[in-house]
Amino acid sequence: MDKKDFFYELPKHLIAQQPIERRDGSRLMLLDRQTGAVQHKMFTDIVSLLRAGDCIVINDSKVIPARLMSENGVEFLLHERIENNRWTTLTKPGKKAQIGDELIFGGGRLKAKILDIIEGGLRTVALTHEGELEPLLEEIGEMPLPHYIEEKQTDTARYQTVYAKADDAGASVAAPTAGLHFTQELLDDIQKAGANIARVTLHVGIGTFRPVKTDDITRHEMHSEYCRISPETADLLNQTKRNGGRIIAIGTTSCRTLESRVTDSGQIQAGAGKTDIFIYPGYTFRAIDGLLTNFHLPESTLIMLVSALAGREHTLKAYEEAVREEYRFFSYGDAMLIANH
């Protein structure tokens, strides 16, 4: 299967540069995964589109201001906490971050010693810092927004879901953007209508920013990311299946978490660990029945995942219609709900 099979033309003006005024004010495209039929709705319509007994699954990982600039001009992106004060990081330019070097940030309030250079040019570093790390990053770091967001952001809180929470196991360097559409009021309305909400955690890594470089997509290797499903979530999801409800993943990260921890018979298992699951057409879904997601970059692993669920032809036709109807694309853009309607 070739990477170019997942290409589509996107006018640059459709790439959303700022979040819209209301989180839940986006448009929502419905895509029937069986027929490919498309309907146009508003995001708040999701309350009526869910059925009593359905369960939506949100990723509650929190994005940290992980992008830093050292005093000698090295751009530094915290990637993943290994343990305690040891992290993997992405640095640019790498020649200024060699083993043994110490980088200084925020007037010396944060220091990073380069311990090792590992796969993909990542560095292992040891951090020393004044006080707690997260409040310090809030002061001296920046949100690691995707490269296609070129405008300066005035409200970085909008690049965070309303249900994100801190986690000792790590944090994300990119938002699970399908969740950005939800307000707490909308979540309350969903539960009042009889649908359930379950939480999982997947800490989004730098693989989000990295393109597929192999023409044959089956040779692409995903970076591993930490994910976790609690016993309570697993019980709720398995009960949903037994009762005939649908499991709707909110975002590709929730989808990948669930599909990483499901048995061949469809039982979702609690637990934590790393996943490097790569979902593309031909994959058999065992955990989810539907997916709420934003519109993704051409030739990305994310549009490949969507194509696995809805079919490549249905997906590309829906994207063509989204372009004609001038939907807003990518992280701050509009949403698509893929399910059997």
* Alpha-carbon span 329 to 310, nearest angstrom: 18
- Tens of pLDDT, residues 83-110: 888 999 999 998 999 999 999 999 999 9
**CB distance 203 to 80 below 8 Å:** yes
pLDDT class for 46, splitting at 50, 70, 90? very high
pLDDT number for residue 155: 82
pLDDT class for 340, splitting at 50, 70, 90? confident
- Tens of pLDDT, residues 130-184: 999 989 999 999 988 888 999 988 788 899 999 999 898 889 999 999 999 999 9
- Tens of pLDDT, residues 244-291: 999 999 999 999 999 999 999 999 999 999 999 999 999 999 999 999
pLDDT class for 119, splitting at 50, 70, 90? confident
Would the pLDDT of 208 be above 70?
Answer: no
- Tens of pLDDT, residues 70-82: 999 999 999 888 8
Mean pLDDT on 225-233:
97
**CB distance 183 to 63 below 8 Å:** no
pTM of the model: 0.94
Phi first, then psi: what are they for 181, rounded to 5°?
-75, -20
* Alpha-carbon span 244 to 341, nearest angstrom: 15
